[in-house]
Amino acid sequence: MSVDIGVAKNSDTQNPIFASLKKTSIVNLIQDQSTADMNTNLSKGHIDAILNIQKNPYPPYYTVNVQYTKASQEKGNILQSLLRTMFYNMNVANKPSNARRHRQS
């Protein structure tokens, strides 16, 4: 099983979220379609979602917008679960340890 994800033309692809998706074996990132073709293919169920990642100068540093279709609801749920897991892992990895948060007197 694979999840076919269209990547919006203005999406930031130089970030850890995109890099993680590229390494995921069930994800097929589609970058060679026009916006109109992606929207048509999404509505027909030929692709499962359209992803748009934007970099922000302040937290949260990345905003991920995903368009889903009812035609591929099951695969959309898989993508949502995958993204939640990725964000959880990134937040845990970047969480400051208790040792650094406590000040010594």
Q: Does the residue 104 lie in any domain?
A: no
The answer as to whether 29 is a domain residue is yes
Name the residue range of residue 74's domain.
Answer: 3-93
Give pTM, 2 decimals. 0.80
CATH number of the domain bearing residue 89: 3.40.190
Cis bond leading into 16, ω under 30°?
Answer: no
* Residue 98 resides in a domain: no
Q: What single-letter amino acid sits at 49?
A: A
- The enclosing H or E element of 44 equals helix 35-44
Query: Within its chain, how far is the Cα of 98 from the centroid?
Result: 29
Does any domain span residue 48? yes
pLDDT of residue 60: 81
Neighbouring C-alpha atoms within 13 Å toward the C-beta of 58:
0
pLDDT digits over 32-69, tens only? 999 999 999 999 999 999 999 999 888 888 889 999 98
Diameter over CA atoms, the chain: 63
Has residue 68 been placed in a domain?
yes
Number of domains in the chain: 1
The answer to whether position 42 is within a domain reads yes
